Structures are given as structure tokens and as C-alpha cells.
Amino acid sequence: MSRNFLPIVYSCLVFAILSPFSAESALTVGFYSTTCPSAETTVRSAITTALNGANGPAASLIRLHFHDCFVRGCDASVLLDASPANPSPENNTVFNMRGLDLIDAAKTAVEAICPGVVSCADILAFAARDAFNLLVPGGSLYDVPAGRRDGNVSSFLEAVANLPAPTMNLTQLETTFAAKGFSLNELIALSGAHSIGQAHCSSFQSRLYPYDSTQIDPTFAQMLQGKCPQNATVNGVVTQDFVTPDSLDVQYYSNILNNKVLLFSDWALRTDPIALTTIVSYSTDNLLNILWRPDFIKAMQKLGQLDVLTGTQGQIRSTCGAVNP
């Protein structure tokens, strides 16, 4: 079976940004400057070539990085396939588990020039940054500190316990994100990634039969019913943003205000007055996303430092889908 389509349960102008990393950070920008100087450009080239202009898989790279970091920290555990040591890994639990083949392509390219040097966890962090650069209007590269090591464990149960579910209300979302050190504003900023990509019908179908017109636009709900019939035997996928489906932008926030988002958890963001103020602010941002974009980047940089393995911890995997023998 292709690593791009694994069994699933549920989901969820270039300008400079000053790096917010503290002196105590275990990760550093330019970590591979002497051991593998072209690591980041090699990843970027491999990802760009493999995507060949397709935006959907690019969005999946951002999602992969988020899910990786929220479960056991940013240790590439989300990339591990099932094995005797990890019979039920994380990637059996996540909707839209695309992008694994892209990471494999980048790892192969890096191993060809610097074998055994660059971790899969770092490659995933670089790839998420590069995907953002490809998807956001005008492009935007940001610093990604590196030095992560790869973990040896991947757990279905830990993924279920740690990942935000599409049915969560705002209180549950805040609790889930606060457990990882994220504020309400960072939660809202990161949720902007739902401006692109797809969601499975099963992740929002309960909102449609019947639908609540105070939570979802009736015309939008009826359109979704056509794409996700109540008794369908196939779990279809639906584009998350029908207005700018190929762009990572602030349209997502307008969709929330217009009750035209798929997931209950996205709609739930508007149920708090403080959160609603932020959503309105982001929704009125201009094409360059000058309000949302830096908030998203800072939150992504913070995300990439969650519970990382460094030094002699973990390992540098030879292939991202399996622990070294």
C-alpha cells in the first residue's frame, strides 16, 4: 500500500520574520551549515519537484508537521509505518494522510548527499515551511531551527488522546492547545491552515443531518449534503475552502463568519467574543495577510520546538517509515 494513502480515522513577496527563539532553545537555525550545508535547499527542491504544481499535497505537509508535533513532540513519529515494534502507529489515525511520499522523496534526496546526517523530523519541519511558502500568496520563507532527532515509538492511542478532533467545542480546543503551551490567539492563527486542503465527509457529516441554520449556511449545507449523502458507503472528501481552494490565505476566517466551514471545531472558534474579534481582524486582512501571516509563522516556529529530541536522544533514521535496525 502506498504511504500516501494509509488507513484513517479522523483529522483536522518573501519577507523576513525575526526568529523568536530563546538562547535556551535546543534547536538552532543553520544547524546543518557544516555537516550538510545544502540540506534545506535539497528538501525544498525535492518537495517542489515532487509536487509539480499540486497544492493539495502541499497542504498535507503542514498538517503532517502539526500532527507530528502534537503527539510525542516533533520526532517524526507520525511518519512511522506499522511494524512489530509499532503495530498501530499514529498514521493510522489521521485524516488526509497524504504527503508521506513527499517526505520520502526529500529524505532520499538528502541521504544521497549527506547519509545519516539529517533527521526525518527536521525534513518534515523544513517541508512544512516550504509548503507554506508555495501556498501563501506572494510566498514567504521563515527560519526553521533544526537539530531534532527521530523517535522510535508511534502510537495510535497517543494520537487519539492528543490530536484535536473536528467535533470539539472551543473550550475543548483551548484545553487541548493549552496542554501544548498555545494561547487562544495561536490556536486561531494555526487554524488558518484549514484555508486549504480537504476533509472527509465523516468529519463533519453529523452537522448535516439535520443541519442547524444558526451554525451552517443552509445553501452551503445543502450543497454539502449533495457531496456527502447520508447513507453513502464511501467516505468522500470535500474541499475545505470553496472560495480560494488553492491558496493558504485569510478567506478561512471570512468563511467562519459566514457559517461556511466544514468542521464544527472551525465554526466553534466564533463562539467566544475575544476569539471572534481576532477572526474579524484576520478576515479583513489584505491580500498579503499582514496580520495573520506573522502570527501563523510565529505559531509554526513555536510548534516546531514542541518536546523535541536532541543530542544523543533518539536516532537519525535511514528511511522515515521505519526505525533503524
**Amino acid identity, position 209:** Y
DSSP annotation of 1 reads -
Say if residue 130 carries a ligand binding annotation: no
Say if residue 323 carries a ligand binding annotation: no
Q: CA–CA distance from 313 to each of 15, 166, 265 (Å)?
A: 34, 33, 35
Given 44, 67, 293, 317, the catalytic residue: 67
Q: At how many degrees (to 10) do helices 292-303 and 120-135 cross?
A: 170
Say if residue 104 carries a ligand binding annotation: no
Say if residue 65 carries a ligand binding annotation: no
67 is catalytic: yes
Say if residue 295 carries a ligand binding annotation: no
Say if residue 150 carries a ligand binding annotation: no
Residue 148's φ and ψ, nearest 5 degrees, are -70, 150
**DSSP-H helix ranges across 234-286:** 251-257, 264-267, 273-283
**Run of H or E residues at 200:** strand 198-200
Say if residue 200 carries a ligand binding annotation: no
Closest CA to 316 of 119, 154, 105, 77: 119
* Residue that has been written with the C-alpha cell 505537509 in this structure: 61
Kindly report the CA angle at 285 between 282 and 288, in degrees rounded to 5?
Answer: 120
- Cα–Cα distance, 195 to 68 (Å, whole number): 20
- With contact defined as beta carbons under 8 Å apart, do 86 and 1 qualify? no
Say if residue 249 carries a ligand binding annotation: yes
- With contact defined as beta carbons under 8 Å apart, do 248 and 193 qualify? yes
Provide the annotated binding site: 68, 71, 73, 75, 77, 164, 194, 241, 244, 249
- Provide the annotated active-site residues: 67
Provide the annotated binding site for heme b: 194
Provide the annotated binding site for Ca(2+): 68, 71, 73, 75, 77, 241, 244, 249
Provide the annotated binding site for substrate: 164
